[in-house]
Amino acid sequence: NSTPMSQTDGLLARHRAVMPNWAGLYYDEPIEIVSGKGNRVVDASGKSYLDFFAGILTNMIGYDIPEVREAVERQLATGVVHTSTVYLLRGQIELAEKIARLSGIPDAKVFFTNSGTEANETALLLATYARGSDQVLAMRQSYHGRSFGAISVTSNRSWKNNSLSPLNVHFLHGTDQHLAQFRGMSDADYIAACVDDLRHVLATAVTKDVAALIAEPIQGVGGFTMAPDGLFAAYKEVLDEEGILFVSDEVQTGWGRTGSAFFGIHNHGVTPDMMTFAKGLGNGFAVGGVVARGDLMDGPHAAGVATFGGNPISMAAAGATLDYVLDHDLQANAARTGEIIIGGLREAATRLPVVGDVRGKGLMFAVELVDPATGAPAPALAVRFMEETKKLGLLIGKGGLYGNALRMAPPLTLTEDEAREGLGILVTALETINDEAR
């Protein structure tokens, strides 16, 4: 029995009895987090962890942040948790104004949802309404959520479960430069091949006008895979010729996370027609949304409501979180602390053959583990690595097409000392796994 001693009430067994078998848990002995402060959490056994996963990017500015707690408590003190979106909601309007301004999208308007899935569903509805088309382009290895529309544009079959898609979707190259067919190509040649393929898809695969391309600037669940610089700009040129809309899924890459831009797609010099967001904006409270060109948002068939989307509690948390990010220039902090860690990991990679790749931007970075002898993806080593970092007091994530990418996205409030502490644990664990794998 692998249930931790600390779980005297057999919580793991109860989880297995009452939750679906695909509600997966990390670690041989899954942990129950009982408290958090700053960039650390504590489990039921009293063990403390530095959090390099931030609840899978939900806790964007860490735990127990007075500004967020007080904003939520002020709203609770009014007696109104939520009434309805048929009334004027001040918090919603103020936050929408800020997001519209930060988006860089001309005449932008904002619609709030409760999750990233709903945000993408809304964007797909807007785009297909606007273009009168069910044809959509997405990227290979993408993840956009679990509703019928969002799952349609999610490409990896292990995340899809079925193919009952309401949309007609074609998946594009862009993050698969490692494939044999592209091996040895320069970035410029690879991008040219991708654009050729896009033109070929438009000429042959789709039956009528295409509504949109939806893409993650850095693929999250896909293992923090990145398109080469220039790919999205090259795609945008073709899309513009055809009037096809570009939707940037910023659920993981928004709010300064990449350090070099406030929204991930701005790293590519591309202004999208729509962006979707969720996860970290509420710092733990459920919030998502779409920011889009006003003419698309205002479309004649686009009427929609979301009962709890943009509710006063979520808006209080999200407003306080966004202000905190801006007031403390956490984008610059992400660039600074991310460089310490990514630089350190790249240095370690030069002497540890178990590291197949180090990639990322700002506080969104991944390490791929490979068999040192063959260079083949090594998902079993990734599982071992997770246990090792847990033992050393660091929470991280796992993902990627082959399950061998270790994904890390600490709170944007990470200090330089914490960056060095986390890097130290990562390098120690990599050395251990490298020794074991030899």
Q: Closer CB to ligand PMP, residue 141 or residue 404?
A: 141
Shortest distance, position 137 Cβ to ligand PMP, whole Å = 16
Q: How far is the CB of 108 from ligand PMP (least distance, A)?
A: 20
Using the minimum distance from each CB to ligand PMP, give the nearer residue, 130 or 139.
139
Report, in Å, the least distance between residue 28 CB and ligand PMP.
Answer: 24
From the CB of 276, what's the least distance to ligand PMP, in Å? 7
The residue ranges that bind ligand PMP (CB under 6 A) are 115-117, 120, 143-145, 216, 220-221, 249, 251-252, 278, 288
| Residues 6+ positions from 158 with CB-CB distance below 8 Å | none
Shortest distance in whole angstroms from residue 22 CB to ligand PMP: 14
Provide, rounded to whole angstroms, the least separation between the CB of residue 357 and ligand PMP: 20
Closest distance to ligand PMP from the beta carbon of 183 (Å): 27
Tell the smallest beta-carbon distance from residue 120 to ligand PMP (Å).
6
**Are 396 and 386 within 8 A, CB to CB?**
yes
